[in-house]
Chains A and B, each alone.
Chain A
Amino acid sequence: MFVLEKRPSPSQFWTYATPVLAVILTMIAGGAMFALLGKDPFIAIRTIFWDPLFGEFAFYLRGQLLVKAGPLILIAVGLSLGFRAGIWNIGAEGQYIIGAIFGAGVGLAVFPTETRWIFPVMIVAGAFGGWLWAMIPAILKTRFNTNEILVSLMLVYVAQTILSKAATGFLRNPQGMGFPGSRNFSTYPAARNVELIQESGMHWGVVAAFIAVIAAYVLLQRHMLGFQIKLAGQAPRAARFAGVQPTRLVVLCMGISGALAGLAGMFEVSGPAGQISIDFASGYGFTAIIVAFLGRLNPLGILLAGLVMALTYVGGEMASTNLNLPSAAIQAFQGMLLFFLLAVDLLSNYRIRLLNGRAV
């Protein structure tokens, strides 16, 4: 038999190897699930992981990967800063919604004015909306020591209700014959988050995601705040001695993650989604949590993880339409990814020692 033995310090090798291992294990377990559903597992896995990149319709789907990965990366980068410091913002979905409502609200308020300032102001408004929504759990935590996990999560449901209200009430398209949904930004050039290169999927939100990755990398490697974030997460007591103010850190980390989630919502509503609708929120805020951990809370890792996650979505859709896999099977497949990641994470902090003496 074997025993688990704690490593003196986390293994460098396994830290980088576990995400890859998790993806491989997901392919195996997922393939088994697809086989049980009566589908050829090799074709299913190829449809999910290979076809969107190199298949018949790759010219279109590669761009779609960026559309899907952009908001995931943008949100996950923000979340990862807080997660590193032990500050758990679970409510990015709510901040994403409020950012979209603020951004869209600014744009729709001045419809149909055409000046080049509208879009930049919408960006600021989107970030502000997300920041504001994140400040509620942040201030409740610093003032009254409430649990930010619960408060931020509960505020998602509040945000969803406000979204319904916006789509059927205060942001509803006045020319929509009473139907829910705002005006579509595709018919409002000054406020539109345009595709920068035709069919590339590249829009300002994807650009913002790349900038966020670089900024977070520099912050964590070169900046005092980055050092404080890492220290607070790894050794809270030492951080206190080193002069880290926990209150300031909570407000900063919640604020940054909220603002980035709000930005993602704003870019989505003015670009790919096009309008505020009842079902505008499609779970990016929650999926980004998986992306953050899949990327090891490291900005570059998150970039890759966001693209892999987007691949499972886009490829999963392909598998679902072309192979008639139920959509629940695709969701289970994505769930496996997180499950295996958390499971094999064990290997970076523990080693498995067989009782006959050999260590792995």
Chain B
Amino acid sequence: MNRRTLMATAALGLGLVFGGTVNAAGMDKVKACFVYVGPVGDGGWTYQHDQGRLAVIEAFGDKVDATTYQENVPEGADAERVLTQMALSGCNIIFTTSFGYMDATNAVAAKFPDIKFEHATGYKRDSDNVSTYGARFYEGRAVIGTIAGRMTKSNKIGYIASFPIPEVIRGINSTFLHAKKVNPDATLSVVWAYTWFDPAKEADAAKALIEQGVDVIVQHTDSTAPLAEAAKTPGVIGFGQASDMAAYKPSPRVSSIIDNWAPYYVKRIGALLDGSYAQVDSWEGISAGEVEIGEITDAVPADVKAEAEALRDAIGAGTYHPFTGPINKQDGSAWLADGVTAPDGDLLGMNFYVEGIVGDIPQ
């Protein structure tokens, strides 16, 4: 907490005592700006961030100017330029919504100490004005994994993975653990697509998996191509990723993991307005509404649906952690003892498969 927010808290306290509206360090109006890695119309990652931006306008109306955003910003020098332009043109808070903007965000933030920077999915906070935020998508994967384990008839689940990074590996492990829990015969085949969004590559990966006899496809890539591919083969199901992908309801899309950034964006800009803003490293999940499970369709039997929803609610209530021991690593060595839940540090740097997954993580 820096001096400014201390003062703000004090002022807020005084305000409450005297019933007035003293608000020394708050702001009357906030200009919030957004940097996107893809087009708003991608229907996935960037679309969901833009929905968050619109929610901010909805929540604060005249008190916020959140009309400034830039799509398709490449990483590196271009991101630095866009950020600098935004900082020069009067943005008070800038959200950089992709991991690749990490170094650019920190470099520009160092030059503009009065402007707040919020970097999604990163870990560097070199100066006081940089916060980082992410979402616990592995919580959603646990629910999806449960449905996948119950639904597969061939006992073969396919996973279209993007890049071998902790975020993706966490999702694979969470899916597998929960599929295995409800179906001990379930196996998982992982295909590395080396892309976040490439419909052609994703379709190829889905096709290859279906040919291997996979009948449930989980994807960590953003296009609807795997669902379109699944739709061609009766009995194959999949899940929406990042956004609901409702066009493929009720099957092959039987449920989805939805990124919902609105609660976080509203909270942060609200904090800037009322003066309670402080640097954070935020990592929220189902309980904060940042990870949502899209409607489970009628293609899923009622008991499976009820089981998945109960798991979702248990995670949301904090009574269940998706990584609860006993869990061994792939090589058989112990990771978590019976009843122990995974520390965040282990999860953030996760670079191993859990026991039972076949294949290696590419190095």
List A residues at the B interface (Cβ < 8 Å): 56-57, 60-61, 64, 67-68, 161, 164-165, 168-169, 177-181, 184, 186, 268, 271-275, 277-280, 282, 314, 317-318, 320-322, 324, 326-328
Contacts and interface: CB of A to CB of B under 8 A. Distances in A.
B349 A268 contact: no
Contact of A279 (B71, B100, B166): B100
Q: Which 8 A-B pairs have the closest CB atoms?
A: A272-B77, A273-B76, A282-B74, A327-B71, A327-B72, A164-B194, A178-B351, A321-B70
A282 B78 contact: yes
Interface of B: 33, 37, 39-40, 67-72, 74-78, 80-82, 84-86, 88-89, 99-100, 102-103, 107, 123, 163-166, 194, 348-351, 362-363
B100 A60 contact: no
Contacts of A282: 74-76, 78
B255 to A, nearest CB: 29
A278 B85 contact: no
A164 B161 CA distance: 14
Contacts, number: 104
The residue among A272, A273, A326, A328 with the most chain B CB atoms within 10 A of its own CB is A273
B194 A321 contact: no
Contacts of B362: 165, 168-169
A324 B69 CA distance: 7
Contact of B71 (A60, A271, A320): A320
A177 B100 contact: no
10 contacts: A57-B89, A60-B84, A68-B77, A168-B362, A177-B348, A178-B166, A180-B163, A277-B75, A326-B40, A328-B39
B32 to A, nearest CB: 13
A180 B76 contact: no
A273 B67 CA distance: 28
B165 A277 contact: no
Nearest to A187: B103
Nearest to B72: A327
Contacts of B80: 272
Contact of B81 (A180, A181, A317, A322): A317
Contact of B100 (A272, A278, A320): A278
Contact of A277 (B67, B70, B100): B100
A322 B77 contact: no
Contact of B163 (A57, A168, A318, A322): A168
B200 to A, nearest CB: 11
A172 to B, nearest CB: 9
Contacts of B78: 282, 317
Contacts of A179: 99, 123, 165-166
A268 to B, nearest CB: 7
The residue among B80, B166, B194 with the most chain A CB atoms within 10 A of its own CB is B194
Given A67-B77, A272-B76, A280-B76, A161 B86 contact: no
B88 A57 contact: yes
Contacts of B71: 320, 326-327
Contacts of A57: 85, 88-89
Nearest to B74: A282
A64 B81 contact: yes
